[in-house]
Structure 1
Amino acid sequence: MKKNITKLLLGTITENEIVELRIWLQDPKNQAILESYVRDYHDLNLATIKNNLDEAYNKVSHQIDSNDKPVKKLFPNWTRYAAAVVLLFGLAFFYQQGFFATSNPEVLVPKDDSITLELDNGTIQTIDVNGAIEVRDSEGNVVGSQQQNQISYSKAHEKEVLVFNTLTIPNGKKFQIELSDGTLVHLNAGSSLRYPVNFLSDGPREVFLTGEAYFDVTKNVSNSFVVNVNELDVKVLGTQFNVSAYGEDEFIDVVLVEGAVGLHKEDELQADAVKLSPGQKGSYEQASNYIQVNEVNTSLYTSWMQGHLVFRDLTFNNILKKLERHYNVEIINFNEVLGNEVFNARFNSVAIEEVLGYFNDIHSIDFRIEENKVIIK
């Protein structure tokens, strides 16, 4: 059915293929596949769908009607909606269902690097996510504990000076940390967080982020919480928000889920901070120091915690970097033209072969697995 679905979405389907697809859709399980796709994606950008639904459908139906078969008689009403949505947002869902599996004689085996914890004296410890240990400072005092994929710090040994630890998450893994004030931080793959073992009773609660993290900050009106990322400070009292600042990204994105945050450069006054409201994304363009604010669907920017991949207006080269980080694999792209093309796609917990299969089908990319590397020509 791969060919028929692809031709339907491209508007090149023939009369016989329409009949075949219609028979396939008579199975309620297959109808449920498309229906669930609509449920997952219709709120992705509802305004865009409403504005473009008729135009997208007319493009599909024009091709289908040329086969002298009225599309409304061949498909249920919901299929009209699903086809338009698929045209707008890509074929990624069908790859998640296994329709577009790409055969390859070699199997790609992701690397398995360790999560590390660096203490204030430079000592580096590895973290076993299947185990449990006591977390000690450089003097041997117990300052917290690690249970599987989370480290929790306590206030048992408060100090008069800040003592920092650094948690580093390699590609292919995620981890959580509960800071001494109860703030919970979810760290994405390829990220690190530098933080005090205990916050001081006076002054801001400041941490330093590289990569991406979701913060659920414990409210404290006396001590603001500040995330320092490159030259941008994200200041809150107590709230939930996501910060993404990977090296390949042009923007530092801050997405607010609950509460309120202020964004400002390190050398700017707090009074000049750009304020965000829930449901907004602040994008700091590092080249121009400009902060742009947009309304967004916040779940798209936090779905990485459930293992999902969402790409919005990203070049193929940037997508490849994110795939390398998510799966902890090496990808080499020799196709310079393709590398600069922009894509939108979403994948829900699928193997990297299925992701590459998606791009192979819509762009006929030539890729192979060689010596545990993905090679694209």
Structure 2
Amino acid sequence: MVSKEIENIIVKYFTNQASLSELDQLNQWLKAPGHGPLFDNYVKTNYAINHTIKEYNAMQTKKHLLDIISKDKKAEKVFKIKRIAFRYAAVLILFLGLGYVLMQGFFSTPKTLELVEEQIELLLENDKAVVVINKDDVQEIIGSDGKVIGTQRGDKLVYNTDVVDGKLIYNTLSVPYGKRFELKLSDGTVVTLNAGSSLKYPVNFISGQNRQVFLKGEAFFNVTKDENHPFIVNANNIDVKVLGTKFNVSSYSEDENISTVLVEGSVDVSRNGTQNKESVILKPGFKAAWNKYSNAIDVEQVDVEPHVAWLDGRLILHEVAFTDILKKLERQYNVSFINKDKKLEQRYFTAKFDTEDIYEVLESLSTSGNFEYEFNKDNIIINP
């Protein structure tokens, strides 16, 4: 909510009547999470009311606000617009009341991206049938023999532990960009799949054989301990072998590295398909990264939190390249970027976002990175 005091200061700002102390107060309010989009829409509403203005630039408005504060008590006009028009617009907003404007949607976060929501899909029994997973549904998953093999409740799918079969029958769960999903395998192992990921796994594991699954993308594993049946995650060129532990594997095809970060327990990371396998044993708090170009596995101690923050919808960046940040945002929010500011490709950023939407993330990054952005249907264009 916007307080009456801030509302009055915004109106004074548009009518060139705000004092320097009020402008400074407005600037401090703008720094708080979620207030940027509200201010953007306030600007948009004023422009919409004043029919003589064809377009607006909220970023330019906020930059001008800072310019005013930094000058020697000199107020400058922000827009080339008649003061009488702003005064009428401000009076109209006061007359309507901010609560009414909020109800009408003027001050909600601007949904200017045309996003197409994709569905989570479950490919059954060796690619024979597809089940669409809706997070609002509760449904039983039926095998080809007519028996229930699992149950989906919301954003979780749990396989039965009493399913017995003499041969391996695989299912594949695919999670599109913008979504996450939790899967509980028949042995009790819990797998959380990140956006843009898929996991191929047996409906039930066979006694005397390793428990092997195949990952594309990123997932967090909480593996049920079974010393007689090691659990193996095949992630492209890497095998991660465990008995019982918690770890994160990221193996997106567009990334340079396939990385494994160990949270708890112990894992053996090795290259697969080679005669002389290079393998490393990880301890908790360490990361093993296989580079597809050097074909080498590097091990380093890391802060685990940034690697698993996605489980809670958070995004933690520590000296991350801008191009890699765009990849993460595309996956997490199901958007596409076009970067026209090539200088940003040489920049690294440190930031922490707690479940903000894409608009708030862009607002923060554009401020620290000194760039502008615009929306074009389902694309976000980064401009110098």
Q: TM-score under structure 1 normalisation?
A: 0.72
Deviation at 1:335, TM superposition (A): 2.1
Deviation at 1:299, TM superposition (A): 1.9
Deviation at 1:338, TM superposition (A): 1.7
Could you list the per-position Cα deviations for residues 120-166 of structure 1 after superposition, in whole angstroms to 9, with x for gaps in the alignment?
24311101111111111233221111111111112333111111000
Cα distance in 2 between the residues matched to 1:278 and 1:302: 13
Please tell me the root mean square deviation across aligned C-alpha atoms, in Å. 2.6
Q: TM-score under structure 2 normalisation?
A: 0.70
| More divergent stretch after superposition (280-289 vs 169-178) | 280-289
Residues 97-246 of structure 1 aligned to structure 2 (within 5 Å):
97-98=33-34, 100-101=36-37, 103=40, 107-119=112-124, 120-246=126-252
Letter of the structure 2 residue corresponding to residue 97 of structure 1: P
Aligned to 2:318: 312
Cα distance in 2 between the residues matched to 1:293 and 1:281: 6
Cα distance in 2 between the residues matched to 1:95 and 1:115: 36
Aligned to 1:62: none
Cα distance in 1 between the residues matched to 2:189 and 2:308: 17
Deviation at 1:96, TM superposition (A): 6.5
Letter of the structure 2 residue corresponding to residue 173 of structure 1: K
Residues 266-305 of structure 1 aligned to structure 2 (within 5 Å):
266-268=272-274, 272-305=278-311
Asked if the contact 1:110/1:327 (under 8 Å) is kept, the reply is no
Flag structure 1 segments of 5+ consecutive residues without an equivalent. 1-15, 25-29, 31-93
Asked if the contact 1:188/1:304 (under 8 Å) is kept, the reply is yes
Q: Which has the larger radius of gyration?
A: 2
Cα distance in 1 between the residues matched to 2:197 and 2:268: 22
Deviation at 1:190, TM superposition (A): 0.7
Which portions of structure 1, spanning 4 or more consecutive aligned residues, are displaced by more than 4 angstroms?
A: 99-102, 268-272
Equivalent pairs: percent with the same residue? 39
Asked if the contact 2:286/2:299 (under 8 Å) is kept, the reply is yes
Could you list the per-position Cα deviations for residues 190-220 of structure 1 after superposition, in whole angstroms to 9, with x for gaps in the alignment?
1100000001111110000011111000000
SS of residue matched to 2:309: helix
| More divergent stretch after superposition (153-162 vs 227-236) | 153-162
Cα distance in 2 between the residues matched to 1:331 and 1:294: 31
Cα distance in 2 between the residues matched to 1:219 and 1:96: 45
Larger relative contact order (CA 8 Å, sep ≥ 6): 1
Asked if the contact 2:33/2:360 (under 8 Å) is kept, the reply is no
Deviation at 1:310, TM superposition (A): 1.9
Deviation at 1:342, TM superposition (A): 2.4
Cα distance in 2 between the residues matched to 1:278 and 1:360: 35
Asked if the contact 2:222/2:244 (under 8 Å) is kept, the reply is yes
Letter of the structure 2 residue corresponding to residue 114 of structure 1: Q
Describe the shift of the 1:159–1:112 C-alpha distance in structure 2 as closer, same or farther (beyond 3 A). Answer: same
Cα distance in 1 between the residues matched to 2:204 and 2:269: 24
